[in-house]
Amino acid sequence: MIGGRRPLQGRKPGDRRVRIERPHAPYFRYTGPGHLTAKEAASAPTTATGRIWANVRGIFVGKPLASDEELGERLSKTKALAIFSSDAISSSAYATEEILRVLILGGVAALAFGLEISIAISILLVAVAISYRQICIAYPTGGGSYTVSRKNIGRTVSLVAASALLIDYVMTVAVSTSSAVEQIVSAFPVLFDERVLIGVAAISIIAIANLRGLREAGNIFAAPTYLFIGSALIMIVVGVFRIVVLGEGATYGPTIASQLSATAEPLSVLLILRAFAAGAVALTGTEAIATGVPAFKPPEAKNAATTLAVMAGLLATLFIGITFLAVNFAILPIDFPEKKTVIAQVAQTVYGDGILFYLFQAFTALLLFLAANTSFNAFPRLLAILAGDGHMPRQFALRGDRLAFSYGIIVLASLAAGLIVIFHGSTHLLIPLYAVGEFIAFTISQTGMIRHWLREKSPGYRRRLAINAFGATLTGIVAVIVTAVKFWDGAWIVLVLIPILVGIMSFIGRQYDAQAEELRVREDGVLPGPHREQRVIIPVNGINRAVVQAVNFGRAIAGDVRAVYVTDDLEAADALRERWERQLPDVPLVIVESPFRAVISPVVAYLDILDQAWPPDKEAPVTIVVLPEYIAKHWWDRVLYNQTAKRLKAALVGREHTVIADVPYRRGH
Amino acid sequence: MIGGRRPLQGRKPGDRRVRIERPHAPYFRYTGPGHLTAKEAASAPTTATGRIWANVRGIFVGKPLASDEELGERLSKTKALAIFSSDAISSSAYATEEILRVLILGGVAALAFGLEISIAISILLVAVAISYRQICIAYPTGGGSYTVSRKNIGRTVSLVAASALLIDYVMTVAVSTSSAVEQIVSAFPVLFDERVLIGVAAISIIAIANLRGLREAGNIFAAPTYLFIGSALIMIVVGVFRIVVLGEGATYGPTIASQLSATAEPLSVLLILRAFAAGAVALTGTEAIATGVPAFKPPEAKNAATTLAVMAGLLATLFIGITFLAVNFAILPIDFPEKKTVIAQVAQTVYGDGILFYLFQAFTALLLFLAANTSFNAFPRLLAILAGDGHMPRQFALRGDRLAFSYGIIVLASLAAGLIVIFHGSTHLLIPLYAVGEFIAFTISQTGMIRHWLREKSPGYRRRLAINAFGATLTGIVAVIVTAVKFWDGAWIVLVLIPILVGIMSFIGRQYDAQAEELRVREDGVLPGPHREQRVIIPVNGINRAVVQAVNFGRAIAGDVRAVYVTDDLEAADALRERWERQLPDVPLVIVESPFRAVISPVVAYLDILDQAWPPDKEAPVTIVVLPEYIAKHWWDRVLYNQTAKRLKAALVGREHTVIADVPYRRGH
């Protein structure tokens, strides 16, 4: 940050008149008296690489948007569908496989139930979507589970929803990435052994892109969603045609049937429930549209609701269609010798071994990476909302602030990458941790809506209330089922983490509340001006330009200025006093002999005795400790200079009635 | 450091009168007008554990000494011998073995030369000691190689000496510790496999003791030296009596003789030179007394010279005696199956397997650990001298400063422990790196003395000149021999390191010189007072106690005070302006709208436009940015508060004409 704004400094002397008359013009709009609005230049990159990157980014993903511009550039339904649905739609890439993996335990006969279960889950999806349409209409400013429950239920429940969502964002990244890698591995089996590495690398690339300011607003983000939807729909049409019209469907061969029967458990309600719970992962990501209502073109609520309906319809079609093909082509998950996903086998059966199969795999993997990317936007955004409400450290609320945003991105990427390493990049092993949080959040938001309608009692609220009550009951039941049947597979981890996160966020909230209470100032009346006296203490190491500058600063701000020289060398002390009294006669110099050769503690002790010498009936003065600071130009300067000042500062920060003033001395000035 | 001095705060209200009249009494002596001398209390520990440790330390090693007290408590010759000679004397524990390890290559016949070589080295030792006696007399303030060569030769050569010494201090720790562990292992072979661990643990313990402030002044440090000297002299007397009078000496058995002859190389001058170079390690540590002259009782120089003579005599006696016994008892170094040192075998032969042998081994190991400990005092002391001359970062010069001292101790311990790990705790493998630096330092200091006498030309200088010229020639030759014959065994590492260290220290020196030049202020005339105007900018987040405190501080130090509020929430901005104009009407509030939701860069940009708005013909005013800082009481407070202030500070440090003032707000005030 040294050196300020480059563009201005680069101006020629002839520009000076302009600068003086309207100096703020490049950075600010003058909005009113004492009111400036920062232009983009005010937060423009000040380094060369920063500017180059900004240009590159400008080409690919558009320029950064200001809060109001962002609202200005509303999304059409087509674009919104692509951007908000990638997470939900992409779950069709692994949901079928999860169902088959459970049913396989019941033998070949059980596998036939796959279709029924996918239809049941699709019905659940439609019910949830209808419930969420209510939220789009009731909360046109964006209604995530956290917002809805905070407004309608209460602080603790909303924090449960927030915790569940935070966990789910991590899981979205981990599951989508590992599934994407499995799609790649299905096309290129030679990469199987590198799947963990590829997954971690992919997360790193997505994280870095987001750290550098990738935004999902660009057109390129719409492509993968439509490419996948299009090619998957063609695959389903062609596949269904071949099965139903041409009768090309296959049945599970006798070898496999007998192999499976040997270890099969009887087809039970529990097995069906487990398959249902496994497939319920198809619903993850449904909330995104309800959260993003303000991004739609007006009428926002209506457009969002329509988009949600289309999304649910598409997802249901894809999910049922892929499951139908998988069951009728007698496809089973293959883990050995290399992983081959069910959707890849379906695609291979329909499209053959040619370029079309590889393209489909590419589209699927791209969509899954895009789904992972959505969490990199949503996770810091939720952190920012939580920080705004005082449940996360405040710095997370500064969304335009690269560093705070970066923390969120790095935390998310690290957790997701960690999960991929721990679970060896296996989507199947990760899934049990996934849907639990999502269904808890669903249930909480639907329940919040019940309270909302009961309070609002707007016209026709009874019907809306009934819809949300139905949704809440349904998602509540599914939440219990999912948690129960997946408990020992990993769902317990989520149930342990949620209370921990809620506890931390409540604690932070109490801390900030206590601080605000403590700092509160009465609302009325003019606040009195300063009444304390002040004195300046300047630790010096001799007479030099940096010291003179600090002394002059001290003289400018207070009448009582003293320099303090700590030494164990009496000769040097006497020489300095002689020179000091000659050159700076109006500033008293105190020599503190330090026979123990300490420097920091004698200064602190000296400040202590100054305070204690003050008459006890008068308020002690503010002590301003002025520290000359030599500004580093090279990395080694940081080692060679200012070390004593740094430690003195550390010793004094927090001292009563003490202000520390750093007076920088710049080399070459 | 929060909260200042405890002892005073704990005083009762009745003490107040005393406090006001002589508040400095507990910490300072009033030495003259504007001159205080810190008492021990001024650097007393302020924490409970710190005080407990200070008491424990007081019992064992005495209280810390002030610079002048330290000089007051002079050392008697007996005590000085023990303290300054442990490094030199302890080398008799491994020097004989090093000679035998070389001679063994020439077969049994060659081993007989061990005695002659040890006598030759002892003569060299006496010559060096006589040369050093001159230094004691010429430099009664302490004359290490660095000081002598800096005064008499020049900057670069003195830095070569300093580099050689720094390396040798590290080697002293590594070699002494590994030899001490080998003595322990010789007595308890079961510990053989743990020798690296024991060595590293021993270095850690010594380092921790030094970090906590162990000083070598205590009486307990004299004990090991005398216990070793006493028991080694008895061993020599008994052994010589048994060999010479009782004729109990042994000869190398025929098996060993034929084994050795099979691989023996012919007895050559080179072999003798190599044995000589190996044994020359006996001279390491000789410089210590010359460096420590001021610590002796007066007449310092004479007492130091006497002590040096006694030390040389004792070391020569022990070295020749032990070598005589080893050769006449037909002792060879044993490495397999467990290490058994030559001195341990000598002791076992003389003292048998009983308690006396174990005691002797304990004394030897203790002395060696004590020798390692001396480096922990000398190394930071040399760093402090180098830092005082501007060749090391300045903070190392603060010897009373625990932190700076600690860096030196930690660096020394880490390097030595690293060497022990790399060389598997083998004294023999470490030795080639050891003596090279020492002999380079010897040569440089003797050469410096030649220049000294040539310049001084004090009465009788010719004789003194001749002695030092002889010493310089001798040590120079040995330095070349040692380097040449040990070159590929490790001496090359030292020859590579020395120029690197010299380069770094020269670089640091040039940096500090350039800084001093840049900061130089003319020596005469009164320096003018402040002439710049100043204004105060206070970034605020609302109206609360911390902000009011900062605003009041700003109003107290300058007339031009502005508050800046950065937000993307216009409603909040309007509400704040309304309240601000009501409650703080005389302080203008500038609202900076930040649609990009950045906080840091708009503040910096605002400061930039303020500067640019200043008339170009007037010097820009000093901008004082006042940052309210909420003081942490718990570790989590550091995460929850002040993050924005911290980052704003980082962005502003080094900005032209800008002073940063931290105004702390303490909870509960």
pLDDT digits (tens, 9 = 90+) for B105-126: 888 788 888 899 999 999 999 9
Q: A518 and B667 in contact by Cβ < 8 A?
A: yes
Q: Which of B42, B534, B640 shows the shortest C-beta gap to A601?
A: B42
Concatenating the DSSP letter of every residue in A257-323 gives HHHHHHHPPP--HHHHHHHHHHHGGGGTTTTHHHHTGGGBPSSHHHHHHHHHHHHHHHHHHHHHHHH
Out of A23, A604, A661, whose CB is closest to B613? A23
Is B66 close to A608, i.e. CB distance below 8 A?
Answer: no
Which pLDDT value is given to residue A61? 44
Residues of A in contact with B598 (CB under 8 A): 38, 42-43, 398, 400-402
Of A1, A555, A606, the CB nearest to B529: A555
Point out the residue among A27, A402, A583 whose CB comes nearest to the CB of B609. A27
**Among A16, A17, A401, A623, the residue to mutate for chain B (most B Cβ within 10 A):** A401
**Of A38, A70, A63, A89, which Cα lies nearest the Cα of A214?**
A63
Label residue A12 by pLDDT band (50, 70, 90): very low
Please write the tens of the pLDDT for every residue from A271-320: 888 899 889 999 888 888 888 787 788 888 888 889 999 999 999 999 99
E strand or H helix at B591: strand B589-593
A277: its two tokens? 């719970």
The predicted pLDDT at position B219 comes to 65
Residue of A nearest to B592 (CA): A36
Are residues A631 and B654, on separate chains, in Cβ contact within 8 Å?
A: yes
Kindly determine whether residue B521 and residue A548, on different chains, have CB atoms separated by under 8 Å. yes
How much is the pLDDT for B289?
A: 82
* Residue A503: predicted pLDDT: 95
Task: For residue A438, give how far its alpha carbon lies from the nearest alpha carbon of chain B (Å).
Answer: 29
Looking at beta carbons, which residues of chain B come within 8 Å of A524?
582-583
Whether B37 and A592 lie within 8 Å, measured CB to CB: yes
Look at residue A422 in the predicted model and tell me its pLDDT: 92
Tokens of A508: 């932070």
Please say if the pLDDT value at position B557 is more than 60: yes
How far is residue B288's CA from residue B284's CA, in Å, rounded to a whole number?
Answer: 9
Any idea which residue has 């322990």 for tokens? B184
SS3 B32: strand
* Of A644, A611, A146, residue with least CA distance to A389: A146
Phi-psi region of A614 (alpha: psi -120 to 50; beta: other; left: phi over 0): beta
Of residues B297 and B440, the one with the higher pLDDT is B440
Q: How many residues does chain B have?
A: 669
CA nearest B390 in A: which residue?
A640
Task: Tell me the pLDDT tens digit for each residue of B305-321.
Answer: 899 999 999 999 999 99
Kindly report the pTM of this predicted structure. Answer: 0.67
- The predicted pLDDT at position B564 comes to 92
Q: Report chain A residues whose CB lies below 8 A from the CB of B624.
A: 557, 661
Residue from B19, B609, B610, B655 whose CB has the most chain A CBs within 10 Å, to mutate? B609
Q: What is the pLDDT of residue B419?
A: 94
Residues on chain B touching A8 (C-beta within 8 angstroms): 608, 612
Kindly report the nearest CA distance between residue B595 and chain A, in angstroms: 5
The residue of chain A with its CA nearest to that of B32 is A591
The answer to whether A547 and A538 are in contact (CB under 8 A) is: yes
Q: How confident is the model at residue B72 (pLDDT cuts 50, 70, 90)?
A: very low
**Residue A626 backbone dihedrals phi, psi, to 5 degrees:** -95, 125
pLDDT top residue among B637 and B204: B204
Please indicate whether, in this complex, the C-beta atoms of A586 and B529 are within 8 angstroms of each other: yes
Q: How far apart are CA B322 and CA B320, in angstroms?
A: 6
**CB < 8 Å to B606, chain A:** 28, 36
**Given an 8 Å threshold on Cβ–Cβ distance, is A545 in contact with B519?**
yes
Rounded Cα distance, B150 and B139, in Å: 13
The three-state secondary structure class of A660 is strand
- By C-alpha distance, the chain B residue nearest A604 is B4
**CA–CA min distance B522, chain A (Å):** 9
Contacts of A607 in chain B (CB under 8 A): 4
Tokens for A442? 């669903």
Peptide bond into B299 cis (omega under 30): yes
**Residue B218: which pLDDT band, with cuts at 50, 70 and 90?**
low
Q: Which of B38, B526, B582 sits opposite A595 (nearest CB)?
A: B38
Is the CB of residue B146 less than 8 Å from the CB of residue B162?
A: yes
Q: Which residue of A has its CA nearest to B44?
A: A601
| Cross-chain residue pair B568–A597, CB shorter than 8 Å | no
Task: Residue B330: name the closest of B614, B108, B146 by CA.
Answer: B108
Q: Which residues of B touch A654 (CB under 8 A)?
A: 1-2, 631-632, 664, 666
Residue A308 CB coordination number (10 Å): 28
What's the pLDDT tens digit per position in B433-482? 888 888 999 899 989 989 988 888 888 888 888 888 988 998 999 899 88
How many angstroms separate the Cα of B465 from the Cα of each of B271, B289, B291, B458, B596? Answer: 33, 20, 20, 10, 78
Q: For residue B403, give the nearest of A552, A647, A666 by CB distance.
A: A647
Contact check, Cβ <8 Å, B605/A5: yes
Indicate yes or no: CB of B43 within 8 angstroms of CB of A598.
Answer: yes
B36, B615, B639 ranked by CB distance to A20: nearest: B615
Q: pLDDT tens digit string along B512-534?
A: 888 888 888 887 778 877 767 78
Do B216 and B374 contact (CB within 8 A), yes or no? yes
User: Which of the residue ranges A181-185, A198-202, B62-66, B510-514 would you say has the lowest mean pLDDT?
Assistant: B62-66
> Which residue among B401, B593, B613 sits closest to A36, beta carbon to beta carbon?
B593
- Interchain proximity B394–A640, CB inside 8 Å: yes
- Cβ contact B151:B396 at 8 Å: no
Q: What is the pLDDT of residue B169?
A: 92
For residues A213-237, give the mean pLDDT.
80
Task: Report the gap between the CA of A495 and the closest CA in chain B (Å).
Answer: 25
Q: Is the ipTM of this complex over 0.85?
A: no
Rounded to a whole number of angstroms, the distance from the CA of B67 to the nearest CA of chain A is: 5
- A-B contacts at Cβ under 8 angstroms: 381
Is B46's pLDDT higher than 90?
A: no
Distance CA A486, CA A277 (A): 8
Chain A positions touching B629 (Cβ under 8 A) are 653
B393/A508 touch (CB, cutoff 8 Å), yes or no: no
- In the prediction, which pLDDT does A26 show? 67
Distance CA B27, CA B39 (A): 5
Q: Is the pLDDT of residue A540 over 60?
A: yes
Of A1, A553, A641, the CB nearest to B659: A553
Quick check: A38 and B595 CB within 8 A?
Answer: yes
Judged by CB atoms closer than 8 Å, whether chains meet at B42 and A605 is answered as yes
Tell me whether residues B659 and A654 touch, CB distance under 8 A: no
User: How close, in Å, is residue B400 to chain A by CA atoms?
Assistant: 4
End-to-end, the C-alpha distance of chain B in Å comes to 17
What are the pLDDT digits (tens) for A327-341? 998 888 888 777 889
Q: Spell out the residues 6+ positions from residue A463 whose beta carbon is closer than 8 angstroms to its own.
A: none
User: Is A655–B2 a contact, with Cβ atoms under 8 angstroms apart?
Assistant: yes
Is the preceding peptide bond at B621 cis, omega within 30 degrees of 0?
Answer: no
Q: B-chain residues within 8 Å CB-CB of A658? A: 664
Q: What is the pLDDT of residue B285?
A: 85
Minimum CA–CA partner of A543 in chain B: B521
Q: Which residues are paired to B536 by β-bridges?
A: B561, B624
Q: How far apart are CA B461 and CA A558, in angstroms?
A: 61
Which residue in chain B has the smallest CA separation from A399?
Answer: B597
Of B585, B612, B660, the CB nearest to A19: B612
Chain B residues within an 8 Å CB radius of A24: 609, 613
